[in-house]
Structures are given as structure tokens and as C-alpha cells.
Structure 1
Amino acid sequence: MRFGCGHGADADDAGVVALRRACPVCMLVHETQRSRGELLGRVAPAQRRRLAAETRIGAEYDWACVRGHDRYRASVVEVLTGTGCAKCRANAASPGAAREAGMPFMKHGLRVGTSMTEQRLRVLLGERIRLHHRANAVRTARMFHGRQEVWPDILVAELRVAIEYDDPGRSGRAHRGVKEGSDVEKDEALREVGWEVIRIRGGGLPPLGPYSIPCRGITPAVADEVVRLLRAIRGDAAVDALLVRPVAAS
């Protein structure tokens, strides 16, 4: 089997089935905001050549811990979505980690692309409520794609509400299937630590979760609906404190 990412069987081999989609490893690497190069940098040197061509997320390798702990054995999917080595797992369950759960913070160097649609949403919301620009991530109690944190599109930190914009994209497959399951897990991780999530569902995506806004595009009416849901979630007084007040004419 030959995948669209170039991994898999040799294209010249007899009986090879060519698929247009990426292999399971490349799909998971993309989903978890990683790169295959990062994996190659962590795997045991003798196993790098095999990992470079790997397509199976269940294949096991020997890995170096990113925090400098002992080398450990794990599958590709465990490395990309798990806690890490045994010491890392113990640290994730420590009282100190529990105290930090739910805290918003600034994740410097965060590699998350922002679409023009998301930028428009942020502008429209910024005309209605004050948005916190010094936080782009939230500590969680559970591991999510190998990290004890999540990166929502927009944070209303004062209200502990995350706002996500979902669109199926050009392929029509984004935020469906496995990705939808990942979205649900992300929302659950936020709710576990006292946050709530508003999902704006574009491109014909069905509602997901108790606070969903299906739409065809980002309009002022969508932004108004977000504010209405914020009131339903946290109350009028809390939202009123964040409203952008018009400048009085002199």
C-alpha cells in the first residue's frame, strides 16, 4: 500500500494499491501539531531509518524522554498522545500538576495557523467584549495529544470559556470522524478543569456539544450569539463586566 504522503510500499512494486490520503503516522503527526522530524530526533539512532518510513501508529520504538529521564519503549501513538516515560506519568499525576489544572497561560512559539475566518471572528468579538491577549493555552488535568494542555482558538479567560471555530475545509473531512472525536476529547478536558466551550460550526458541520452555533459564515449575528451564550453560561453580570463600552462623544 502506497500513501499520498509518499510512505508505504514502493510505487513500482507489483500489486501496490495507491491511496491519496496520508499514512496513519503522518495523519496523527499532523493532528497533534508535531512533525516526523521531531519523532526522528527522539527515537534511538539505530531505529531512525525504520521510523522515517513507518506507517503504523502501533509500531514500537525506543525513545528518549523530552525531559531528560530514562529511555523508554512505546508505540508511535503513545509517544504522540501519551504522557511520556514512567517518571513523566508520575509527575503528571502529582499534586502540583493538579493545582495548575485550569490555569490559562501564554504558550510562546505556538505553531497554530489562524485562518482569515478565525481572525474575523476575533475582530467581531473584540468589538463586543474585551479579549485576553496574554493567554493562548489552558493547563488540563488529563493528557491531550501528549501534552497536559490544550490550545483553543479564542480564550475568554475571565469567564473560563473557550471559543472554537470548526470548518470542514477544502477536503470536506476536517472536524469529522477521528478529528471530531478529538474535538470532543478536548472539550471534555476543558470541562474537567472548570472551563466551558462554545463551538461555532461552519460549512454544514452539525452541532457538537451543548453550546454550538451552526453557521454559513462569520457574521455580526454569530458574534452576538456568542455573547448570548456567554451570558447563558456565566451570567449577565460577569459578561457585562467585559463589554466594550462605546466612547462617549465629546
Structure 2
Amino acid sequence: MDEDSGTAGITVRFRCGHGADAAEARITLQRACPLCMLLGETKRSREELLRRAAPAGRAALAQETRIGASYQWICTRGHSRYEATVRETLTGPGCPKCQKNAQAPAARHEGGVPFMKPGLKTRTSQAEQKLRMLLGERIRLPHRVNAIRINRSFYGKPEVWPDIIIPGLKVAIEYDSPGRERTAHRGLKEASDREKDAALAEVGWAVIRVRADGLEPLGPYSIACAGVTAAVIDEVLRLLVLIRGEEAVAALMRTDSSG
């Protein structure tokens, strides 16, 4: 993403409505501003971003277009305010205190532990639900875990929330799709996915990524596909055996008698 977009020194307005006032704009670009593009890639809204900003900067941030602009931010865990760019806030590790806590010895001891985070709200697509349903017909999937502790801070938290977690194999499964606008899991969001996978690898977890609708493979255990099918489930199971061995996977396989 090019933050300047070749418009330095020119009064520009973007399709999203940010930038110069309509009456003052010399150029109107038929695309969203860099900040709105990054919000789209990271599946966040400007309202969410404004709530994280210190009150004094919210008016300016409401009209901001640059992802390199620095603001004061409020830590969601109650730590001191800190300064960071919009890009760092949306894709970085959170406030310095959160980052330090995530690297503390006690936190490292908990790294890799799956757990149930109460009240966790994540967006689940129909394709993700289908993936879980079809895979659950072949292998026993737990329903009481939705997060994994890590030894670093990811979006300000010492944990990640994979789509599917298999604690018995220490394997997480992610379903990636570019979405309706064809921008999800690309660009900076792809870099974020790589960071998430690296954080899980640090604590002994492997990640299988089902990459749908034209997304390129990402990582050593990727399945490129048009959508979720029985063949995709077969490939997931093959990768599970490759990662953890046939005996470990067989112990979790469903039999005809167990449904």
C-alpha cells in the first residue's frame, strides 16, 4: 500500500469521503484512502480506531488518510497512553507495557496453552462453518477452546484466536478468503497472518491454512482451493498426518459407531 499514492502536495479527495473538502479538491481519486484501505484489510472500522485514540486526537483521526500519521492511543488494558502510527496500531503488538508483559517469564510459561476465552466475538463465515462441520464429521474437534496463549503480543493481546483449534495435535486451522472486495488476507493482512503463524510456531503449534478464492499459498501447510469441499477435508487430514504422524491423528478420528 502506497501511503503517499503519488499525491504529495496536491489537494486530494478520496472516494471514501476523506481528504480535502469537495469544494477544495483538485483531484478526486476513485478509491478509498490509505487508512480506510488498511482498515478494510484488518477487518476493523474507523469507529473502533477512534475509540482507541486519545480524546484530543479523535477529531483529526476521523478525517485522517495517512497510515504513517502518529497519534496518542489508549491501551485497552489500562496501561499508560502511548504514541504510535496508525499502521503500528492496526498491525503492531500494542502498547509497550503489553508487549513487555507478553515477553515476561510467567507469560512464556503459559505460551502454547489453549483455553476458552469467555465472551470472545469473532466473525465466522458460512465457509468457515462448513469447514468445521465437514472436518468434525471425520475427526473429533473440541468445543471448549477458542484461543491459544503466545509468547508475544499480537494486536495488543498475549493470545490468538484461530478458526479451528485441535489441542491434541497442537494444530490450528485457518480459513482465508479475499472476501467480497477481494482485499482480505492480502497486503498488510497477509503480513499479519504470517506474524500470527510465527507466534504459534514459537509455542509449538503448527498452522494449516485453507486459502480460498484465488489466494496464494501461505506457509508450509497451505491448501489452495476454490471453496470448502470433501477433497479439501481429505487434504487437511493428510497434512495433519504429515505434521503429527498417523498414530496421533488416528487417535482422534471418528469411527462409524461414534458418528
What TM-score bracket applies, with the shorter chain setting the length?
0.7 to 0.9
Q: Quick one: distance in 1 between partners of 2:162 and 2:104?
A: 25
1:2 paired residue among 13, 27, 38 = 13
- Equivalent residues in 2 for 1:89-104, closer than 5 Å: 89-104=99-114
Residue 24 of structure 1: aligned partner: 34
Alignment deviations for residues 195-247 of structure 1 (CA, whole Å, 9 cap, x no partner): 11111222232322211222222111211221111111111121111111212
**Is residue 47 of structure 1 aligned with residue 46 of structure 2?**
no
Question: 80-89 or 42-51, which moves further after superposition?
Answer: 80-89
Letter matched to residue 55 of structure 2: P
Q: Quick one: distance in 1 between partners of 2:206 and 2:120?
A: 22
* Alpha-carbon offset, residue 106 of structure 1: 2.2
Q: Is the 8 A contact 1:81 1:147 kept in 2?
A: no
Question: 81-90 or 150-159, which moves further after superposition?
Answer: 81-90
Residue 182 of structure 1: aligned partner: 192
* Alpha-carbon offset, residue 152 of structure 1: 1.5
Residue 4 of structure 2: aligned partner: none
Secondary structure of 1:2's aligned partner:
strand
Q: Cα–Cα, structure 1 residues 241 and 179, in superposed 2: closer, same or farther, change >3 Å?
A: same
* Alpha-carbon offset, residue 11 of structure 1: 2.5
Q: Is the 8 A contact 1:60 1:76 kept in 2?
A: yes
Gaps of 5+ in 2: 1-11
The number of aligned residues is 248
Residue 46 of structure 2: aligned partner: 36
Q: Percent identity?
A: 62
TM-align CA RMSD: 2.3
Secondary structure of 2:28's aligned partner:
coil
Q: Quick one: distance in 1 between partners of 2:258 and 2:126?
A: 31
- Equivalent residues in 2 for 1:2-151, closer than 5 Å: 2-21=13-32, 23-151=33-161
Q: Quick one: distance in 2 between partners of 1:171 and 1:63?
A: 29
Q: Cα–Cα, structure 1 residues 7 and 108, in superposed 2: closer, same or farther, change >3 Å?
A: farther
* Alpha-carbon offset, residue 104 of structure 1: 1.4
Q: Cα–Cα, structure 1 residues 54 and 109, in superposed 2: closer, same or farther, change >3 Å?
A: farther
Alignment deviations for residues 106-156 of structure 1 (CA, whole Å, 9 cap, x no partner): 233333221211111111100000111111222222232333222211111
| TM-score computed with the length of structure 2 as normaliser | 0.85
Alignment deviations for residues 161-216 of structure 1 (CA, whole Å, 9 cap, x no partner): 11112222333333233332222222112111111111122223232221122222
* Alpha-carbon offset, residue 30 of structure 1: 4.2
1:224 paired residue among 234, 237, 250 = 234
Q: Is the 8 A contact 2:41 2:188 kept in 1?
A: no
Q: Quick one: distance in 2 between partners of 1:129 and 1:174?
A: 29
**Is residue 211 of structure 1 aligned with residue 216 of structure 2?**
no
Letter matched to residue 225 of structure 1: E
Q: Quick one: distance in 1 between partners of 2:232 and 2:63?
A: 45
Residue 166 of structure 2: aligned partner: 156
| TM-score computed with the length of structure 1 as normaliser | 0.88
Letter matched to residue 10 of structure 1: D
Residue 212 of structure 2: aligned partner: 202
Letter matched to residue 18 of structure 1: L
Q: Quick one: distance in 2 between partners of 1:168 and 1:45?
A: 34
Q: Is the 8 A contact 1:81 1:146 kept in 2?
A: no
Q: Is the 8 A contact 1:121 1:218 kept in 2?
A: yes
Q: Cα–Cα, structure 1 residues 186 and 65, in superposed 2: closer, same or farther, change >3 Å?
A: closer
Letter matched to residue 164 of structure 2: I
Letter matched to residue 196 of structure 1: A
